[in-house]
């Protein structure tokens, strides 16, 4: 693999020197450049391509948020990481739309290394440069308008109930992805991974959520879906049913609470790639759906034809870039190919796959009918005789 090109920006010479010393052991894998301001960084980028930029936030002249915004506009495929010592609300909300990941000072070299490495592996996997650029530049995902309004109204109430906020957020694909991105960023110094929206809200606190929602456009429905053959409410109904169905299956098969929640969040997010592709390439996506209808193809096959990748990979890529927990990425990336996960027991991935397939069969929506249950994988887990029970659970989830 070619060496990764990484650019570090910080106005304090001491910090830059410290980084240089700390990261010296990685010279064999990375080519690193260290500059002291946003202006110099932008000039440097015109001379030489970089894969990753790691920038300080508070700098005189051009601050980190302004710099990363410009980098996003000019070089959307670059991975953008914020390295900052100040964990305050404004800063968080300022860079939430422009940075892929945050890391706090003093920086842990191994953590930074792992972060950069993961981001580069992910970006290397996506073939289509155009698709990669678009995903790199995504700063928000469309939300269901009613849920966004409901959330705003809930935040204006006198006694704000954080459980109610969590309940609204966890019903929305875009808002769930965004909040998990934020809470899992090393910015908050959390030692464990949070993979459910309710817990994320409780952890971040009402004030942070308020700032995020009311003063920042990241939660807003920035680009309504312009596709003709699929609407955000179709996708929402499908995702909610799969989430509730997957959780019910996980529960019925005796998985613990944490795994049940993982199945739920995985279900909400499993088709986030459809949202990404349909909101950014509406005309092409309509053509892919048309092909699904006329040629009776499965949607991943049609997507492959038009985009060179499927919604599963696209979704896992964006969430990976945002630093979401690995088990969620796994569910999103593999929900149509669970045989790639070599497991001989029930997992949240199997629950999501089963709920997805059964929901598709029951809904008979061309986009969501994605084939049959993976018999080999489900047999390996000893659960093949459970399909009727699962179908009933998914049916209840859709109607209950």
What residues make contact with Fe ion under the rule CB under 5 A? 271, 356
- Residue among 162, 371, 175, 398 at smallest CA distance from 265: 175
Three-state secondary structure call for residue 114: helix
Nearer to Fe ion, 138 or 312 (CB): 312
Residue 242 C-beta: closest distance to Fe ion, Å: 6
Residue 379 C-beta: closest distance to Fe ion, Å: 22
Q: Do 116 and 81 touch, CB atoms closer than 8 A?
A: yes
Nearer to Fe ion, 65 or 240 (CB): 240
Nearer to Fe ion, 261 or 271 (CB): 271
- Residue among 29, 178, 139, 12 at smallest CA distance from 85: 12
Residue 50 C-beta: closest distance to Fe ion, Å: 33
As a whole number of angstroms, the distance between CA 218 and CA 224 comes to 14
Nearer to Fe ion, 186 or 241 (CB): 241
Residue 22 C-beta: closest distance to Fe ion, Å: 41
Nearer to Fe ion, 120 or 394 (CB): 394
Sequence-distant (≥ 6) Cβ neighbours of residue 134 within 8 angstroms: 76, 280, 281
Sequence-distant (≥ 6) Cβ neighbours of residue 191 within 8 angstroms: none
- Residue among 85, 221, 79, 68 at smallest CA distance from 144: 221
As a whole number of angstroms, the distance between CA 27 and CA 36 comes to 20
Three-state secondary structure call for residue 373: coil
Residue 326 C-beta: closest distance to Fe ion, Å: 19
Locate 146 and state its tokens.
Answer: 């009613």
As a whole number of angstroms, the distance between CA 6 and CA 23 comes to 11
Locate 311 and state its tokens.
Answer: 């919604």
Residue 300 C-beta: closest distance to Fe ion, Å: 7
Residue 179 C-beta: closest distance to Fe ion, Å: 21
Q: Do 250 and 348 touch, CB atoms closer than 8 A?
A: yes
Nearer to Fe ion, 172 or 356 (CB): 356
Q: Do 240 and 212 touch, CB atoms closer than 8 A?
A: no
Nearer to Fe ion, 56 or 356 (CB): 356
């Amino acid at each position: 693999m070619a060496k990764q090109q990484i650019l570090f920006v910080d106005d304090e010479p001491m910090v830059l020197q410290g980084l240089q010393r700390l990261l010296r052991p990685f010279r064999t894998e990375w080519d690193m450049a260290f500059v002291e301001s946003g202006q110099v960084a932008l000039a440097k980028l015109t001379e030489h391509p970089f894969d990753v930029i790691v920038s300080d936030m508070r700098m005189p002249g051009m601050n980190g948020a302004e710099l990363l915004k410009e980098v996003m506009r000019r070089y959307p495929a670059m991975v953008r990481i914020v390295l900052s010592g100040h964990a305050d609300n404004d800063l968080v909300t300022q860079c939430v739309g422009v940075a892929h990941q945050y890391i706090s000072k003093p920086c842990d070299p191994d953590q930074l290394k792992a972060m950069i490495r993961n981001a580069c592996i992910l970006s290397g996997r996506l073939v289509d440069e155009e698709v990669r650029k678009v995903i790199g530049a995504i700063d928000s995902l469309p939300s269901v308008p009613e849920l966004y309004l409901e959330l705003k109204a809930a935040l204006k109430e006198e006694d704000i109930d954080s459980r109610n906020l969590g309940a609204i957020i966890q019903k929305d694909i875009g808002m769930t992805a965004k909040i998990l991105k934020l809470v899992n960023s090393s910015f908050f110094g959390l030692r464990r991974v949070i993979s459910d929206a309710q817990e994320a809200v409780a952890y971040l606190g009402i004030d942070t959520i308020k700032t995020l929602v009311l003063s920042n456009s990241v939660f807003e429905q920035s680009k309504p879906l312009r596709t003709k053959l699929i609407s955000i409410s179709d996708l929402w109904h499908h995702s909610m049913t799969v989430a509730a169905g997957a959780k019910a299956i996980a529960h019925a098969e005796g998985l613990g609470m944490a795994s049940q929640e993982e199945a739920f969040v995985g279900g909400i997010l499993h088709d986030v790639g459809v949202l990404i592709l349909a909101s950014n390439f509406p005309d092409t996506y309509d053509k892919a759906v048309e092909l699904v209808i006329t040629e009776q193809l499965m949607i991943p096959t049609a997507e492959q034809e038009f985009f060179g990748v499927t919604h599963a990979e696209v979704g896992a890529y964006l969430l990976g870039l945002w630093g979401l927990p690995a088990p969620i990425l796994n569910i999103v990336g593999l929900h149509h190919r669970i045989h790639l996960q070599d497991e001989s027991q029930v997992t949240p991935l199997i629950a999501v796959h089963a709920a997805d397939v059964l929901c598709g069969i029951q809904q008979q929506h061309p986009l969501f009918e994605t084939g049959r249950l993976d018999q080999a994988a489900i047999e390996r887990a000893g659960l093949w005789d459970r399909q009727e029970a699962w179908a009933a659970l998914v049916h209840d989830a859709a109607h209950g």
